[in-house]
Structure 1
Amino acid sequence: MFSRQLTQKLSLEHLQLENSAKEYQCHMSPVLTACLVVWYSITMVLGVVGNISLICIIARCREKVNVTSIFICNLSFSDILVCVFCLPFTVIYTLMDHWVFGSLLCRLVPFIQCASVTVSVLSLVFIALERHQLIINPSGWKPSISQAYTAVIIIWILACFTSSPFLAFQLLTNEPYAAVPLPQSVPDDPACLEHWPSQQQRLAYTTWLLLFQYCGPLLLVLLCYVRVFVRLRHRKDMLDRARTPESQRMTHSRRINIMLVALITAFALCWLPLTIFNVVSDWKQEALPVCHHNLLFSLCHLLAMSSTCINPIIYGFLNSNFRQEVREIILHCRCRPVEEECDHFPVSTVHLEMSRTSCGSYNFNK
């Protein structure tokens, strides 16, 4: 559902409405267009730089990699793909109203979009499931490094399978424009459209994406983090007060709770407007405003893409160990564990990491 940015914009009915609106000089102002381009550019740069920085910091101490860091690297890599393939292509297509990148990219770009967004969502789910297991059942089964890599492979296979319809049904054609009475001929301005055998199949696929990319993941992440939140509150009375002072314990528990709320809120709110837009576009497109269709879509799309900037902040830059690594890089220091500068708590309390051997074993709840 999130990943159909390119294909949601154009349809025969919408082009007819859009052409009628042109009679009333309904178009986006140059100033507003420039603001959107700048906003898209800033979002893309921040998303790419933030996620590359997060991957580089984690990879800097490869010998201390853990399951959480593997999933976060996978999330960051998919977010980079989202920035590269969702932002520039979508903004150009939205503003130009026709596809200028050729037939191959017409099929390939939506496929990569859908796959990268699906990987991002599934990575968030696997991170939530791992944290749930480590907190709810800390003495039980824990995923190993090899199992984490296997999970990453499975995530990409599922994402590619989910995205495969775009390779089959995405076509470059000027047929919609030919059917619309435009002031002048536009034979060289084709559109990149989904061409399904039937409308029922298209709506079925739309419904599947809605469930698989938003409703299902949001429900799983919410369930996992609510249970973690409740367990952390119950576990406060079981902490060793001699080893963990009350003030320090309360501060750390509050920090984790804030992070859990931030994760759920960011995921739900960032993607909700674009999800609603896509549902309305598929099921009742005439309900969308003609004059402000592109503007409304761009705002919903930009909010969704802002998640690629928020994820590195939540998973990395709010982490005390991560910030310590950044400081060491800035000061040109070698990677080393500095035990006295790191916050350590027993695994049986609130730690979510697989190992407590050093600061390099990132606890992404810090």
Structure 2
Amino acid sequence: MYNDSSLPGAWEASDWAVASQCPPSVGGATFLIVAYSAVIAIGLLGNAGLVFIIARQQELRNVTNILIANLSCSDILMCVVCLPVTVIYTLMDRWVLGEALCKVTPFVQCMSVTVSVFSLVLIALERHQLILHPTGWSPAAGHSYLAVGLTWLVACFISLPFLSFNILTNDPFQNISLPANPFRDHLICMELWPSDKHRLAYTTSLLLFQYCLPLLLVLLCYLRIFLRLRRRRDMLERSRRTRGAQRINVMLLAIVVAFALCWLPLNVFNTVFDWHHQALPDCQHDAVFSACHLTAMASTCINPVVYGFLNSNFQRELRATLLRCQCRSQAPESYEAFPLSTVGSEGVTKATSMNMNSPRPEISSAIPAKTIPIHI
């Protein structure tokens, strides 16, 4: 999930020559252009719409939604920088975008993926705290903004080696023994580490701390949440609101699982390439990479699709926004302003949550004392 080039820097000169003699077919190139264009369009429009709606409505700015918006921002950055560059590099099999993008593109991808993973971890930890310890400390919206800032700072630090070790060069083509070397003027963007040990140590660490361990922690959090809610199945708290909260948990878990599955093929590809790149067929290398990378980039569409289409409040707000943009005289559909998620940014007092005579339904103790959406 860290490598954005279709030709990483571990090949020998002969490998570069063979790969350069295997251009993609017209059908394959057309498919890549159409597929990547669709991912870019869905990712940009969907995530931008999600961020806009969350930022526009004050009542939607709770902890979970702020982290969801942060996840969408990292996906937008991926769509703008990484996807177009990867398509161009894969199709042309040479680097024509300059030295700055050679360094910035893998740096941005690594940073964006790290932010996405950390956002998923923070969402899972927040829900774990609020559902398993509803009377304990609960994060506020201000804490989420601080967490978002730290997430980007840590992700930037983790990704710094790509700025140092990615270079633009034509060295691999200079020593090719051909009567007329057609690749002499070709430039490639590759990683040049002090040694293979340094490269393998870094990429293996990324695999563990950017993918395996975070997702394992997330799944553990949701497993404990599921077991806690299951133990309360026959209690008085089991109500329509509790079932709605369970649906939100399932939805958030679906985002995590889909993210993990999307990035799994590219992680496997990069691991095989790092440790035994000869196992990959020469002329099929780009095709295999493109399939794995396209699957990974599809993760940028998960957030708006899963979170947007499965949340009725988000759909209502989206329709109302579109109506206002079209300057229609018809008033937007009115609905009670519940947050998009079951976790609000500001808690209610214990006395309020225990008030049986309140005109609003009582909030179950199985769920944190927060505002609960009626329709999910």
TM-score normalized by structure 2? 0.85
Distance 2:258 2:333 in 1: 32
Aligned match of 1:112: 108
Residue 194 of structure 1 and its aligned partner are, at CA, apart by: 1.1
Aligned match of 1:12: 11
* Secondary structure of the corresponding residue to residue 202 of structure 1: helix
* Secondary structure of the corresponding residue to residue 192 of structure 1: strand
1:198 matched to 2:184? The reply is no
Distance 1:45 1:238, change over 3 A: same
Distance 2:72 2:234 in 1: 36
Aligned match of 1:320: 312
Residue 260 of structure 1 and its aligned partner are, at CA, apart by: 4.8
* Secondary structure of the corresponding residue to residue 284 of structure 1: helix
Deviates most, 48-57 or 132-141: 132-141
Distance 2:242 2:84 in 1: 44
Q: Please give the residue correspondences for 1:153-192 in structure 2 after superposition, counting only pairs within 5 Å.
A: 153-181=149-177, 183-192=180-189
Distance 2:118 2:253 in 1: 19
Distance 2:366 2:251 in 1: 13
Distance 2:8 2:194 in 1: 19
**Please, which runs of 5 or more residues in structure 1 have no aligned partner?**
none
Distance 2:252 2:33 in 1: 32
Paired residue type of 1:255 = R
* Secondary structure of the corresponding residue to residue 190 of structure 2: strand
1:311 matched to 2:311? The reply is no
Aligned match of 1:148: 144
Residue 347 of structure 1 and its aligned partner are, at CA, apart by: 4.4
Distance 2:54 2:226 in 1: 26
Paired residue type of 1:231 = R
For the 8 Å contact 2:5–2:86, the answer to whether it is kept is: yes
For the 8 Å contact 2:121–2:217, the answer to whether it is kept is: yes
Distance 1:187 1:19 in 2: 10
Distance 1:157 1:347, change over 3 A: farther
Q: Please give the residue correspondences for 1:282-301 in structure 2 after superposition, counting only pairs within 5 Å.
A: 282-301=274-293
Distance 1:254 1:77, change over 3 A: closer
1:99 matched to 2:99? The reply is no
Distance 2:88 2:237 in 1: 58
Distance 1:217 1:62 in 2: 30
Superposition RMSD in Å: 2.8
* Secondary structure of the corresponding residue to residue 290 of structure 1: coil
For the 8 Å contact 2:48–2:72, the answer to whether it is kept is: yes
Distance 2:317 2:131 in 1: 25
Aligned match of 2:364: 348
For the 8 Å contact 1:11–1:176, the answer to whether it is kept is: no
Paired residue type of 1:151 = A
Please give the per-residue CA displacement for 1:130-188, whole angstroms capped at 9, x wherever unaligned. Answer: 11111111111111222111111110111010001111111111101213345534343
Distance 1:66 1:251, change over 3 A: closer
Work out which of the residue numbers 226, 230, 233 in structure 1 matches 2:230.
233
For the 8 Å contact 1:79–1:116, the answer to whether it is kept is: yes
How many residues align? The count is 351
* Secondary structure of the corresponding residue to residue 154 of structure 2: helix
For the 8 Å contact 1:17–1:290, the answer to whether it is kept is: yes
Paired residue type of 1:4 = N
Distance 1:305 1:339 in 2: 33
**Please, which runs of 5 or more residues in structure 2 have no aligned partner?**
325-330, 343-359
Residue 337 of structure 1 and its aligned partner are, at CA, apart by: 5.2
For the 8 Å contact 1:232–1:253, the answer to whether it is kept is: no
Work out which of the residue numbers 32, 35, 47 in structure 2 matches 1:51.
47
TM-score normalized by structure 1? 0.87
For the 8 Å contact 2:107–2:163, the answer to whether it is kept is: yes
Work out which of the residue numbers 259, 272, 282 in structure 2 matches 1:280.
272
Residue 259 of structure 1 and its aligned partner are, at CA, apart by: 2.1
Identity %: 51
Paired residue type of 1:282 = D
Residue 203 of structure 1 and its aligned partner are, at CA, apart by: 0.5
Distance 1:336 1:143, change over 3 A: farther
Please give the per-residue CA displacement for 1:68-90, whole angstroms capped at 9, x wherever unaligned. Answer: 11111111000101111221111
Residue 8 of structure 1 and its aligned partner are, at CA, apart by: 5.0
Please give the per-residue CA displacement for 1:271-297, whole angstroms capped at 9, x wherever unaligned. Answer: 110000000111100001111110100
- Greater fraction helix: 1
Distance 2:60 2:284 in 1: 51
